[in-house]
Amino acid sequence: MNNPLLQEWKTPFGTPPFNLININHFKPAVEESIKSAAEEIKMITDNYELPDFENTIASIDKAGQTLGRITSLLFNLNSAETNKPLQEVAQAVSPLLTRFSNDITLNEKLFKRIKTVFESLETSGLNTEQKILTERKFRNFILGGTALKEDERKRFRAISEELATLSLKFEENVLEETNSFELHLTDKDDLAGLPESLVEMASTEAEIRKKQGWVFTLHFPSYVPFMKYSEKRDLREKMFKAYSSRGFRGNNFDNSQNVLKIANLRLEIARMLGFKTFAEMILGDRMADTPEKVEKFLEELYRASKPAALRDFENIRSFAESQGHKDAIERYDWAYYSEKLKKKLYDIDDEILKPYFSLEKVEAAVLGLASALYGIRFILNNTIPVYHPEVKTFEVYDHDNTFLSILYIDYHLRPGKNGGAWMTSYRDQKNEKGNDVRPLISIVANFTRQSATRPSLLSFNELTTYLHEFGHALHGMLTKCTYESLSGTNVARDFVELPSQFIENFAYEKEWLDTWAIHYITGEKIPDKIISKIKKASTFNEGYACCRQLGFGFLDMAWHSIIKPVNADISGFEAEAVSKTELFPKIEGLNMSTSLGHIFGGGYAAGYYGYKWAEVLDADAFSFFRETGIFNKETAASFRKNILERGGTDKPHDLYVRFRGKEPSIDALLKRSGLK
């Protein structure tokens, strides 16, 4: 087979030749590249020279580059443009990859070489980046089971392979459950309260499905505004229950057993490796490096936010009562009455803001923000192959015209795309013998498409989502490291959200909005009074929002702090874990865990707290920008140099203090959130 995955990519900037690749190429390419990578590892272990950093640690970091290139392509496509055949390939190669990974980390000769380098770190004369890479490789091998006895190794292999398969299946089930639901309406009265833009989108969706009337789905551009604006409580209830029961309906896509298996197998691996819990195992290289530190942090924020959450809840309850609502406030009432109260208090909602946030303007503004802060520029390139016609590609250059990166942006929802938004890469940055290999970065989102009568208009939340993922992208694009596994976003999980959450702050700043936010029909600049309302409304229900997110953090830690296998009903386990953050009556048949891809399908297991941890850092960092000027070149240059360029080449705490000049403080977050 003439397999393009195994050939040199003679494309612009060495980008993936999507136009030449088909699904049948992946499995044989993975199998062949595993063989090649195994040979590279064998050359390291068979080296007769004494182990040192270059012939062992650096060589391991370089090994398997072809395999990494192929698998990043496969799994990125499986998230952004999947189908049944591709999912089958991903399921088929996943155990092969896990098996090969185990072959490496369970290789005693290889570990012996790594250990020799690790034990001589203090006298080796290595720089900080080399020391951190050595420490990371050593830790990866310890967590990879290298110290296990022979009989334990067989079980370790079986568990790790099963975990890889289970996580893939978990995500597939959530996608299937999301895509399979539709709310099909034919009575115009059922559209009461819905904005015209949403009705038009639902009409288009119905046409696509060859149905009369309107179709609403569980994808965010449809689901979120429906829950905010629909006056039909029974329909809100139906939508909410469908969304909140994904993976928990006792059908072929039920994730209940997958959740239990994943949590229990993670515990088993942790115990095999000498840790009390999976959380203890996973947190060892984080800023919050013990479960106790995480729990203390979550509790501190919980105590600060709970009174405000109760205040927010009572405000919504009494407002709903004033609007004629007679029953208890349910979760499917929250968005509806919150939006109404916000409109009353601040005279602002998404329908007022959306006309100023056309996707075309937002794109130019977000890219322009990076230019203003860091002097980089973006050039659209339509000749670079893409995996879907909607994907846009940009060449990215520094202020001195040095090439930095290729940026892919994939904006709109499709049936083959996972929900939410994310940043990923097709190639990470590295420096090989003075040759700076630049990264290929991608942003994937699920924004509303343009319609027959209006362009794609973003909600305020979609604007901040764009900024968030672009912040990750900057972290990936601006990196200047030597070793691939330390570059870009390859940092501690509770540090990785700092660049993304930091840049969200600009969405609330008049100084930035003034430069681009223009009404798509009238051409009128966004009025100062609207910007002022955005700012004032930023703390609306923030106590509740903080408490709600802490609930996810507590749930994550509960699943990964178990000390014995859980075989109980997962609803009861979940209810106990989030009980102190829960403000609504319990509804049977719903479950968060079965669709919480971050911790059961992605890489945030025992790490969901990191979003709030990074909020402390981002609020503190942006307060520094406010002190010096939000477009201050020196402050931006320091943030770039000490945070965005450095990847994981130093301890996150040290990088942050180097930028900020002092320890981070929680005060800025409490103040920004209206909790202090």
* 539-556 confidence digits (pLDDT tens): 999 999 999 999 999 999
CA distance 101 to 145: 11
CA distance 9 to 233: 54
Question: What CA–CA distances, in Å, run from 255 to 268, 419, 570?
Answer: 20, 17, 10
pLDDT tens by residue, 306-360:
999 999 999 999 999 999 999 999 999 999 999 999 999 999 999 999 999 999 9
pLDDT tens by residue, 204-258:
999 999 999 999 999 999 999 999 999 999 999 999 999 999 999 999 999 999 9
> In which element (H, E) is residue 279 found?
helix 278-282
- Helix, strand, coil content of the chain in percent (nearest 5): 60, 5, 30
pLDDT tens by residue, 386-396:
999 999 999 99
What the chain holds in terms of domains, given with CATH numbers, is 4-147 (1.20.1050.40), 181-244 (no CATH), 355-491 (3.40.390.10)
Would you say residue 1 has pLDDT above 80?
A: no
Evaluate the CA torsion angle 377, 381, 384, 388 in order and state its sign.
positive
**Residue 568: predicted pLDDT:** 84
Instruction: Look up tokens 């959200």; give the residue.
Output: 497
120 in helix, strand or coil? coil
pLDDT tens by residue, 625-637:
999 999 999 999 9
CA distance 22 to 5: 10
Question: What does pTM read for this prediction?
Answer: 0.96
Q: What is the mean pLDDT of residues 152-161?
A: 96
Q: In this structure, what DSSP letter does residue 54 have? A: I
Q: What is the mean pLDDT of residues 659-670?
A: 93
CA distance 379 to 244: 41
CA distance 650 to 313: 43
Instruction: Assign 367 a pLDDT band (cuts: 50, 70, 90).
Output: very high
Report the C-alpha dihedral over residues 381, 385, 389, 394, rounded to 10 degrees: -30
Would you say residue 41 has pLDDT above 70?
A: yes
> In which element (H, E) is residue 411 found?
strand 403-412
**Residue 564: predicted pLDDT:** 97
Question: What CA–CA distances, in Å, run from 579 to 67, 122, 556, 558, 575?
Answer: 44, 48, 13, 12, 6
Q: In this structure, what DSSP letter does residue 449 have? A: P
Would you say residue 614 has pLDDT above 90?
A: yes
Instruction: Assign 445 a pLDDT band (cuts: 50, 70, 90).
Output: very high
Q: What is the mean pLDDT of residues 53-74?
A: 97
Would you say residue 676 has pLDDT above 80?
A: no
CA distance 202 to 205: 5
Question: What CA–CA distances, in Å, run from 446 to 16, 164, 219, 327, 421?
Answer: 23, 26, 8, 34, 6
Active site residue 108: no
Q: Which of 611, 616, 613 is nearest to 666 (CA)?
A: 616
CA distance 619 to 616: 5
Q: Which of 205, 469, 497, 645 is catalytic?
A: 469
Q: In this structure, what DSSP letter does residue 197 have? A: H
CA distance 25 to 538: 49
**Residue 602: predicted pLDDT:** 87
